Structure 1
Amino acid sequence: MKTPIFIDGNCRFCRFCAKVLRQMCGDKIQIEFQGSELYQSYVMKFPDSNWEVDSIKMVHKDAVLIKSKAIEQILSLAPWYYQILRMFFFLPSGLLDRGYDFIAKNRLIWGKAVDACEISDYAK
């Protein structure tokens, strides 16, 4: 069964990251945008306050992981040659989350926002 990963997908940067994750993890993940039917069903099935946070989301062992915790868990699904990236997770999660927030805050500058979301191109 594929692990669903939820992203907001409203900018080129988010779509680029979805494409990279898909290339890294292959058929182990299913990328969905927030607002899809699958997303809504997971919100109902796993009540958690983390659904309100604008971040990448992943359900792992009945918990909703966000930000650096979600990325760390996603990387564990990647092949061995990507595991070197997990060394960053020896840093404190607070520091990693601040870095994530900085990137998320500036993603529209780097990715140039677009009107329509094209995440469905990468979701399947």
Structure 2
Amino acid sequence: MDHSNQGDRPILLFDGVCNLCNVVVDFILRYEVDSRFLFASLQSDKGKELTEKYHLSKDIDSVIVIKSGSAYCHANAVFQVLDVLPWYFRIIKVFKILPNNLLIAGYKLIAKNRYRFFGKRETCRLPKKEERMRFLG
């Protein structure tokens, strides 16, 4: 896979066996304005490498956006994703007026129960042929 311009592209790390996380990845792939994001499951070698590089807990219960040398977790990661979606999805940013600790608590509540609410896969998501260039190993 050629990821020669990977350095300036945001990366979304996600739980590869979580149904909700995979729906989020599919949503981004469908609606993203300029195909900017790259993806890696937290279970992949690249996911583990980036988790270690950014000193994130191996047990983190969040999607993670790595952008411009910073790692964003929880609701802050969601707000980073909104930046690449069409304008009408960005209305969700109105929630930024809430205290950050409240946003994180809400995110963690959903994350903690995601398998129970949305289910879990036996294996990580395999990208479709046309998506492979966007997924890191």
Give TM class, smaller chain. Answer: 0.7 to 0.9
Q: Separation in 2 of the partners of 1:112 and 1:83?
A: 27
Q: Write out per-residue CA displacement over residues 30-52 of structure 1, whole angstroms, 9 at most, x where no aligned residue.
A: 221013243244345x4334565
Q: Which of 65, 74, 90 in structure 2 is aligned with 1:83?
A: 90
Q: Separation in 2 of the partners of 1:109 and 1:38?
A: 27
Whether the 8 Å contact between 1:48 and 1:64 is mirrored in structure 2 is: no
Between the two proteins, the alignment pairs up a number of residues equal to: 123
Partner of 2:43: 35
Q: Separation in 2 of the partners of 1:5 and 1:119?
A: 15
Task: State the superposition RMSD in angstroms.
Answer: 2.3
More helix by percentage: 1
1:88 Cα shift?
1.3
Structure 1 residues 107 and 118, CA, compared in 2 at 3 Å: closer, same or farther?
same
Structure 1 residues 118 and 79, CA, compared in 2 at 3 Å: closer, same or farther?
same
Q: Do residues 99 (structure 1) and 134 (structure 2) align?
A: no
Q: Separation in 1 of the partners of 2:87 and 2:49?
A: 32
Whether the 8 Å contact between 2:51 and 2:57 is mirrored in structure 1 is: no
Q: Separation in 1 of the partners of 2:38 and 2:67?
A: 14
Where structure 2 has 5 or more consecutive residues not aligned to the other structure, the ranges are none
Partner of 2:12: 5
Partner secondary structure for residue 10 of structure 1:
coil
Partner secondary structure for residue 35 of structure 1:
coil
Q: Separation in 2 of the partners of 1:72 and 1:98?
A: 15
Q: Do residues 21 (structure 1) and 57 (structure 2) align?
A: no
Structure 1 residues 11 and 95, CA, compared in 2 at 3 Å: closer, same or farther?
same
Aligned-pair identity (%): 22
Q: Separation in 2 of the partners of 1:35 and 1:3?
A: 18
Question: What is the TM-score when the length of structure 1 is the normalising length?
Answer: 0.81
Letter in 2 for 1:10: V
Q: Write out per-residue CA displacement over residues 36-88 of structure 1, whole angstroms, 9 at most, x where no aligned residue.
A: 243244345x4334565231111233221100111111111222222211111
